Structure formats: C-alpha cells, structure tokens
Amino acid sequence: MKIVILERNSVGADVSADCISELGEVTVYDNTVTLEEVRDRVRDADIVIANKSPLREETLKDAPNVKLICEFATGYDNCDLDYCKSRGIKVANVRDYCTAMVAQHTFTMALALSQKLFHYDAYVKSGAYSAQDRFSNFDLPFCELEGKTWGIVGMGNIGRRVAKIAEAFGCRVVFHSVTGKSSCTEYPRLDKDTLLTECDFLSLHCPLSDLSRDFIDAHALKKMKKTAILLNVARGPVVNNADLYEALESGEIAAAGLDVVEKEPLTPDNPLSRCKDSVKLIITPHLAWASVEARRRCVEEAYLNIAAYLRGEDRNIVNP
C-alpha cells in the first residue's frame, strides 16, 4: 500500500508521524503547494494524507490507484467530495482532536482584548508605570465577562465547549445555526439579526460553506454593538476582512480576535495587515488548533482512519 503524505509540516516536525509507516510504504513531502506538485506526487499513491493541498479532478485524474484521502484536519474543503465519490475515493477527517485548544484560544483572545492586556503590558514596560505617583492605572476602561451575552455561531463540539466555559464566566450564552439544523437545545437559538444586536462577544466556530462565507460582512457589523468583540476561530472567509477593517477603524465594533484570515498567510494587500493596534485587533497565525497534544492526536487519528480502512471499515468518512 503506497501512502503519500503531502504536507508533513502541517502537524509540526516536533510531532512524530512514524506510526504511519506501519501501514504501508510511505513517501513524505514537507509541503506541497502547486497543482503540478500535487498531481505529480499522488500519481502512484493508494492513500493520500493532506491538509490544504487541492484534491480534485485536475490533481487526481492521473492517479488511478487512490482510494482513500485522509485529512490532517477536521476541515475538508480542499477536497472535491462529489468528484471523489464518483471515483470511489473515500475522504476521512479527524474529529474532536483540538476542541480543548481551540476553546482555550478563543478565551485567550477574548480576555486579552476585553481587559486591554496589550495596552497595560506596554504601559508598564515603557516605564510610565514606574514614573507615576499612584499604585494603579486604568486609563482604558475594561469589563467583566460576567453578565455579558456570549453568542456562538456553530454549535458543534468546539462551540459547545466554548459555551460551557462562557457559562462558567457568568455569561448568558445564545447561538445561531447557519444551516438551521442544529440539534442543540441547551441554549437559546436566535436568528442572525437578533444574535448580532444582542451579543457582547460573538465567536465563530462554523465550517466554511456557501451559507457561512461572508457571514460577517459590512451589513452584519453595522448591527453589532459598538462595544462588541468578534472572535473568528472558524475559517477566514467567514468574515469579510475588508469590511471588518472598516468597522474597526470607524469604531462600529470595539475589537476583533482572529486566528484565521481570508487568504493565508496574511497578505500585504489584506487591509487588516495595516492595523497595528493590538487593543483593537489580535491576529494569530492559524494556531488555535496546534497545541502539542492536539497535533499528536491529529496524527494518531489519521493513523486510526487508515488502519480502519485497511480492515475494510469506515471511520470518519465524510463522503459515504
């Protein structure tokens, strides 16, 4: 069985992927970017392990032996599921491996922004604190989470974990279902406009789809409170980056924390790259999922998906 790992670096060189070698003859590429590279590298593969590499007709048509694609991720929008199904290629993702870390990162950004931590850290390190004649400084007002309304878009495993943590902080939790099919009954479900107008914090945890693309745009941002904080740990295109930049500059919302942007890595032509004020905007480089523990689980889950396939069992197949 020929297994090709297209993006070994996506799980980090500090995490071992040697277990995959127990399952077949493995060829490893640190990174695979271009369509030509993908096409050439999967040509003789039986199983492909990927993360962001595009796997669709133009890259798979000359790879007749591919029968399984395993994602080093939960998301699978890099795969054309319809084409794969027409070819009999199964696509498997890894699930619930980074829930704890993504939820933790959501609150790391929320707390840093709501408490103006970067401002106060810079104040102390600048020497201004040492030069003042009083014991404290709170020139930028900050707020408690207790009593605030925390809205969630995408009430899957991560959304539910965030909801529980928000409750522990004393927040009122509400949510919106992009598809309208959520089974969640623990929290009030609101329509989009009501969610936008009521939330003090709004965190996004939904998959990218035609329904969620540009979910937060200029129209949505205008409906939010001027004191609201937006948090995107879903997919970059769920938020229109140009519209968010304008909203932050004009004060339509107070702040935003992003772990994802529309095109990654962040490009110089993305207007958000011009915002250097960390009181208004925090951007991290798509790392909310990437604790050492989570990356180890990611590799282990991919291993188990392949092992199940080799036994004739379906495990985490997203295109049955």
Catalytically active residues are 235, 264, 286
Structure letter (DSSP) for residue 27 = E
**130: how many CB neighbours lie within 10 A of its CB?**
8
- Cα–Cα distance, 308 to 286 (Å, whole number): 30
Please report, as a single letter, which amino acid is at residue 238: V
Contact 99, 161 (CB under 8 A): yes
Please report, as a single letter, which amino acid is at residue 248: L
The torsion angles phi and psi of 62, rounded to 5 degrees, stand at -100, 20
Nearest to 93 by CA among 298, 259, 236, 234: 298
* Segment (H or E) for 107: helix 99-114
Contact 106, 79 (CB under 8 A): no
